[in-house]
Amino acid sequence: MIEIKGVSKTYGKGKIKALNNINLEVRDGEIFGFLGPNGAGKTTTIKQITGILKPDSGTIKINGIDIVKNPVEAKKHIGFVPDNPEIFNRLRGMEYLNFIGDVYEVPEDERYKRINELSEAFEIRDALSSSINSYSHGMKQKLVLIGALLHNPSVWVLDEPMVGLDPKSAFILKEMMRKHADSGKTVFFSTHVMEVAERLCDRIGIIKKGEIIFVGTLDELRHLRKDNDSLENLFLELIEE
């Protein structure tokens, strides 16, 4: 579960307001889609949930643990995929995953089992001995995904996870997200692809200029707008207001 209470964030010594008093609760057992135009504050929110950025005010709790007060413990519960998979390019795929395994204290047997399974599913097993530098964007995305899921975290935080994935891998990931939520755990992800959000999410949140302008199910959004249109049209209407 992710609880965000009264979180604000400014950049440039308070000159640029990125987030303004946002409140959000992502429950156990749900897939939560986070939508918003470019520069609305999606990535800033995600960076604060994962402890990359410190909020100026407010609290963020992961499964009840405050990410600012107890960062190491809180982060153990999170599996995070950043929006840009350009990381540790000089390591080999396997070295990267082993490092992640060490950081999250994954036992050797479990580490082997999960890496074997996930790398087979995402079809990058044979590339694990190669340098990450030699990977395509999609392969890097898959590697980061495997790393994020290696310790079997209860909270998945995925920033644009489908970008760069081939259709088969995107399908597998969507299945995994569904399965994870159905087992009572949390999936929080941002996307620009409305179709994905429409099909996959139990609830969605829409952020605009650093403020949450809608949180609820798709039906609730349609009811609110008194319109039976697609999410894409509803989203466009909402953010243009």
Using CB under 8 A as the binding rule, whether residue 175 contacts another protein is answered as no
Long-range pairs of 88-94 with CB within 8 A, sequence gap ≥ 24: 88/132, 89/131, 89/132, 89/133, 90/131, 90/132, 90/133, 91/131, 91/132, 92/128, 92/129, 92/130, 92/131, 92/132, 93/124, 93/127, 93/128, 93/129, 93/130, 93/132, 93/135, 93/143, 94/128, 94/129
How many angstroms separate the CA atoms of 90 and 8, rounded?
36
Candidates 23-31, 66-74, 169-177, 224-232 — which segment interacts with another protein by CB under 8 A?
A: 66-74
Candidates 34-42, 105-113, 171-179, 193-201 — which segment interacts with another protein by CB under 8 A?
A: 105-113
DSSP 2: E
**Site mask for another protein (CB under 8 A), range 19-58, x = bound:** ----------------------------x--xxxxx----
Cβ closest to another protein, residue 59 vs residue 230: 59
Q: How far is the CB of 32 from another protein (least distance, A)?
A: 18
51: left (phi over 0), alpha (psi -120 to 50) or beta: left
Cβ closest to another protein, residue 134 vs residue 217: 134
**Site mask for another protein (CB under 8 A), range 76-95, x = bound:** x-x-x-x-x-xxx-xx--xx
Q: For residue 45, give the nearest of 3, 87, 103, 104 by alpha carbon.
A: 3
Q: How far is the CB of 112 from another protein (least distance, A)?
A: 5
H-helix or E-strand containing 21?
strand 16-26
Q: How far is the CB of 31 from another protein (least distance, A)?
A: 20
- Residue choice 103, 175, 184, 217 for contact with another protein (CB under 8 A): 103
Radius of gyration, CA atoms only, the chain:
18
**Site mask for another protein (CB under 8 A), range 128-167, x = bound:** xxxx-xx---------------------------------
Q: How far is the CB of 74 from another protein (least distance, A)?
A: 8
DSSP lists the bridge partners of residue 75 as: none
Helices (H) and strands (E) in the chain, counts: 9, 10
Using CB under 8 A as the binding rule, whether residue 104 contacts another protein is answered as yes
Number of residues this chain uses to bind another protein (CB under 8 A): 49
How many angstroms separate the CA atoms of 76 and 37, rounded?
30
- Residue choice 57, 116, 152, 233 for contact with another protein (CB under 8 A): 116
**What are the residues binding another protein (CB under 8 A)?**
47, 50-54, 68, 71-76, 78, 80, 82, 84, 86-88, 90-91, 94-95, 97-108, 111-112, 115-116, 125-131, 133-134
